[in-house]
Structure 1
Amino acid sequence: MVELVLRCVELVPPGRVASYGTIAGICGIGPREVGSVMRHYSHGLPWWRITNHAGDFGGDLLQRALPHWEEEGIRVKPNGLGCRYADYAVDADELAARWREATRDLPRVQPARRRAAGPDASATAR
């Protein structure tokens, strides 16, 4: 899962942003899992291109992202919390297609199937 997320993040082009949810949808996981991967493994990656759904950052991340955004032409919106996501969002379909190509060499782990509750659940599911 980690490598799938990291490769997706690497594919977000300069001057564009993607939300945790966009990355999650492409990778087949949840946005919080993307956040966890980013928290632990984003060193050396363009982490400043991954925002929340509104284009915002929490904590001091915006201040750390500003030099990168200025270099890439991403402007801060009037409320000062991030960028206008609609203006800078990556094309999710294009990103997904590029990600599929970039991850062909990686194994895919299917999410665990939920089992029905109760000892007789399999009998009622038939």
Structure 2
Amino acid sequence: MGDDDHELLEELPELADLVLAIVDQIPEGRVVTYGDIAAVAGSGPRQVGSVMSGYGSMVAWWRVLRADGRPPQGHEDEAIAHYREEDTPMRNGRVDLRRARFPLDEVEGVRPA
């Protein structure tokens, strides 16, 4: 993230700041679900979705997806292009969560709620 993004983060609600910090640490080719983030952030998947809807453009938003491996709704084509570029494991048009899921216990500064 650039300096301008860090300045904006100072103005974000606490949950948004936490969610974006988590997403920012997901490596290329790996993904998490809204529920994965919610479990460590102490919120619900819908709240994580709201954060991503409002602020996701600040991070690699395509690395956060639904529990069934489908990319974010309305952004499928762009997300799939990112998955291909990053060699994210896919199967039948969806991300293969078994192979691509990133364990959030490896994320710095985040403890499971």
TM range (shorter): 0.7 to 0.9
Contiguous gaps of at least 5 residues in structure 2: 1-14
Against the structure 1 CA distance between its residues 58 and 2, is the aligned structure 2 distance closer, same or farther, given a 3 Å change threshold? closer
1:90 to partner: Cα distance: 0.1
Cα-Cα RMSD: 1.6
**What displacement does 1:75 show?**
3.8
Structure of greater Rg: 1
Specify the alignment match of 1:88 in structure 2: 100
User: Match for residue 2 of structure 1?
Assistant: 16
Assess if the C-alpha contact under 8 Å between 2:34 and 2:67 holds in 1: yes
TM-score, normalised to structure 1, is 0.70
| Consecutive unaligned residues in structure 1, runs of 5 or more | 102-126
Shift of residue 51, structure 1, vs aligned partner: 0.7
Q: Structure 1 runs of 4+ off > 6 angstroms?
A: none
CA distance in 2, matches of 1:9, 1:58: 14
Instruction: Tell me by how many angstroms 1:6 deviates.
Output: 0.8
The amino acid across from 1:100 in the alignment is V
Q: Indicate the percent of aligned positions where both proteins have the same amino acid.
A: 34
Partner of 1:114: none
CA gap 1:87/1:29 in 2 versus in 1, 3 angstroms: same
Give the Cα separation in 2 of the matches to 1:7 and 1:67.
23
- The residue aligned with 2:57 is 43
> What is the alpha-carbon distance in structure 1 between the residues aligned to residue 110 and residue 42 of structure 2?
12
Match of residue 73 from structure 1: 87
